Structure 1
Amino acid sequence: MQNKEDWQGVYVVAVTPFEASGAIDEPSFRLLLETYIADGVDGIIIAGSTGEWYTLEDGERLRLFEIAVDVVGDRSHIIAGTSAISTAACTSLTRCAGEIGCQGAMVLPPPYALPNHREVVAHFSTVAGVGVPVMVYNNPARTQINLAGELLEDIATIDGVVALKDSSKDLYQIAETVRNFRSNLAIFSGLEPYAMPTILRGGVGVVSMSANIIGSTAVDFFRHIESGQIEQAVEIEHKLDRIYAAFYAGGYGVYVVIKECMNILGRPGGFPRPPHLPIDNKGRKRLTQLMSELGFVE
């Protein structure tokens, strides 16, 4: 297996639309996938953090993978979110995702378990051993494990680990990671405020939360950076900065805010699943005003 796949561009990390009852809203999910394709994304990540994977049963994740492969076909790159606390569960999900037809898997180091260096490497080695290309996901805020330096060096040598999503929020670390690992890993920014410096240093793209909300505008942001149209990219960056500020304001969950913004704009975000709760009227009013100020709603 190659140690680097031709992955690049804008990979939207999809929300999972739920009904008010908590059931997966399959018709809305199918519509959402078509919406992403119309937006022009290069890849779609199913059941990532934005997709509330931690609320999904394994069978529900596999069903989402099946729907995505059925709807999207070869029109975009489908990456399965297969993170789990146990290596056995993560490996099983990854194997099944490959059998379903997903082109890769995005995998966190085991959350909550706090594995040591050797255990993290063994986890990724076992998961990648099933033959499905793996994007390792660095999100220290949610795992308390930082995939950088010597740890990432050991992970990057694993056959089948082909890409990295970095959500570390540490620009100096990101710069070092891109410099040291871009020759054998496709490096994606995990957060749009860090996308431009990541890509200009040699990263290949962005895993986008905002593409759920603003669709083709998020794609345009990457295309402008890629083509050297920095002034145009900065214009969009200013809007992205305000959207990201809204993600973390008001005490609401990030993914709750994303879904509400989608619903305001008529995109099929659906309801969050408990423990998350729908946003309140105060938050809805604030987000509606923001979308209007940014020119996305009349």
Structure 2
Amino acid sequence: MEKFKGVYVALVTPMKEDFSLDTKRLYEICEWMISKGVAGLIPNGSLGEYATLTHEERAKVVETVMEASKNKVPVVVGTGAPATRDVVFWAEHAKQHGAEGIMALPPINYNPLENEVIYHYEQLSKVGLPIIAYNNPRDYATDLTPDLLAKLAKIDNVVGVKEFSGDIRRVHDIKAKTDLEVLIGVDDLSMEGPLCGATGWISGVPNALPEEGVQLFNLAREGKVEEALPLYRKMLPLFHYDAEPQLVQAIKYMMELADQPVGPTRPPRLPLTNEEYANIQKAYHEAVKPLSKQV
């Protein structure tokens, strides 16, 4: 069953120059992305700087995105937090405000045992929302391997996985061992993922280039490799930033280049160097200049 198919944007969180939350820009950004054809919105993921938000800010982000979506597209809420109790709280908050599902990391504050990972998702399941398990062994201690996902798939409401390992072989193994819907989670596999059976893409760079991201994913899902490949290769230098630790700074700068400014990142994330910004700018202009004419 394809519940979360298409391009779901893992939203950045707009900030004012004093680092306060900019809900007006968040609302506008959501409306803009919906108008560009994205399939869904995901607030409070890693790209949304959830760990730097106060409790009140985090709730306000979800409520603003839900209001801006106007039920035109589904909203899936990121629930990452150190304690299972807090993750469950954010899942319940998402449900109360009409979210279609949650994106849930395994325990993040240490290297948990397998039974602890399973318990964590069992508690989340009790909330009653569809769960996309978030596998990100690049940044967190736990690797949700295909064998572990096969066990998680037996839990009610665990219906999908955001696969961010960077290994395209995982898509095949997950599909062979589970009935979970696979959503590719790393931008620089956004063509290979759907070609290998991923039904969705939880994306980063489409914060700045939503139309191009939707076009690429749809071409790949339809198996139109000859049309997708030129577009993918032009965007690939930008996509690589999604897999780097400084992805938030990079993607926020891409949004500035796209005339959709969203302000700074909160410390401990600091501005990048002038050289890094120049490299992003070059990659951005190379990506957008010829796209519409080549595909």
TM-score, structure 2 as length reference: 0.93
> 1:254, 1:288 → 2: CA distance?
14
Q: Note the 1:100-249 alignment, pairs <5 A.
A: 100-181=97-178, 184-246=179-241
Tell me, which stretches of 5 or more residues in structure 1 are unaligned? Answer: none
Q: Percent identity?
A: 29
| 1:287 has 2:280 as partner | yes
Q: What SS does the aligned partner of 1:141 have?
A: coil
| 1:261 has 2:258 as partner | no
Which residue is 2:93 aligned to? 96
Q: What SS does the aligned partner of 2:117 have?
A: helix
> 1:106, 1:256 → 2: CA distance?
22
> 1:48, 1:41 → 2: CA distance?
17
Q: What SS does the aligned partner of 1:282 have?
A: helix
> 1:246, 1:152 → 2: CA distance?
27
Amino acid at match of 2:230: E
| 1:86 has 2:79 as partner | no
Amino acid at match of 1:135: I
CA RMSD after TM alignment: 1.8
Q: What SS does the aligned partner of 1:50 have?
A: helix
Q: What SS does the aligned partner of 1:111 have?
A: coil
| 1:35 has 2:28 as partner | no
The structural deviation recorded for 1:58 is 2.5
CA contact (8 A) 1:179 1:201 kept: no
Which residue is 2:12 aligned to? 15
Deviation per CA, 1:252-288: give whole Å up to 9, x if none: 7111010011112211332111111123433333322
Which residue is 1:63 aligned to? 60
> 2:232, 2:66 → 1: CA distance?
32
> 2:2, 2:56 → 1: CA distance?
28
> 1:178, 1:240 → 2: CA distance?
27
> 1:175, 1:240 → 2: CA distance?
24
> 1:100, 1:67 → 2: CA distance?
10
Q: What SS does the aligned partner of 1:142 have?
A: coil
Q: What SS does the aligned partner of 2:60 have?
A: helix
The structural deviation recorded for 1:108 is 0.5
The structural deviation recorded for 1:248 is 6.3
The structural deviation recorded for 1:102 is 1.0
> 2:240, 2:12 → 1: CA distance?
19
The structural deviation recorded for 1:245 is 3.3
The structural deviation recorded for 1:5 is 6.2
The counterpart of 1:72, out of the listed 69, 72, 76, is 69
Deviation per CA, 1:58-117: give whole Å up to 9, x if none: 221111111111111211110111111100000011001100111111010111221110
Deviation per CA, 1:136-156: give whole Å up to 9, x if none: 000011112111133111111
The counterpart of 2:268, out of the listed 260, 267, 275, is 275
Tell me, which stretches of 5 or more residues in structure 2 are unaligned? Answer: 291-295
CA contact (8 A) 2:94 2:102 kept: yes
TM-score, structure 1 as length reference: 0.92
Which residue is 2:293 aligned to? none
CA contact (8 A) 2:187 2:243 kept: no
Aligned residue-pair number:
290
Structure 1 residues 29 and 219: alpha-carbon distance in aligned structure 2, compared to 1, 3 A threshold: same
Amino acid at match of 2:75: I
> 1:247, 1:91 → 2: CA distance?
27
Amino acid at match of 2:254: C
